[in-house]
Amino acid sequence: EADIYQTPRYLVIGTGKKITLECSQTMGHDKMYWYQQDPGMELHLIHYSYGVNSTEKGDLSSESTVSRIRTEHFPLTLESARPSHTSQYLCASSEDKRNTQYFGPGTRLTVL
């Protein structure tokens, strides 16, 4: 089991709410990633970070934002959730050399 954690695991909220999805890892990895995945579909990279104070947008345009103030913590925020944001959000981290990614259990978000 990888030492990477996501909370909450499940979240059901109404349209217009602000939410923050938490992701933490205790492996000391510099690189962290957020993916969006619809059921049975491929993963889409939405944000990534190479270290503290470094954040980049991924391949899939997303209205979410991220921050990286501490190495172990990479939260994702939606300022105003909409039903189109309903999806599973997966956080991952990787060590420098092999680029093997370690995934958290995911947060399944439903916006009503």
Partner 1 sequence: SQQGEEDPQALSIQEGENATMNCSYKTSINNLQWYRQNSGRGLVHLILIRSNEREKHSGRLRVTLDTSKKSSSLLITASRAADTASYFCATDAGTSGSRLTFGEGTQLTVNP
Task: Report the interface residues with partner 1, using CB under 8 A.
Answer: 2, 4, 6, 31, 33, 35, 40-43, 45, 48, 50, 58-59, 88, 90, 92, 94, 96, 98-106, 108
Choice between 70 and 98, CB closer to partner 1: 98
Tokens of 43: 């993963």
Enter the tokens of residue 51. Answer: 């270290």
Cβ 10 to partner 1 shortest distance, Å: 10
C-alpha distances (whole Å) from 31 to each of 7, 24, 47, 52, 54 are 19, 12, 11, 9, 9
Residue 18 exposure: Cα atoms within 13 Å on the Cβ side: 3
Rounded to a whole number of angstroms, the minimum distance from the CB of residue 107 to partner 1 is 10
Q: Find the shortest distance in angstroms from Cβ 83 to partner 1.
A: 20
Please say which residue, 15 or 88, places its beta carbon nearer to partner 1: 88
Q: Which residues pair with 64 in a beta bridge?
A: none
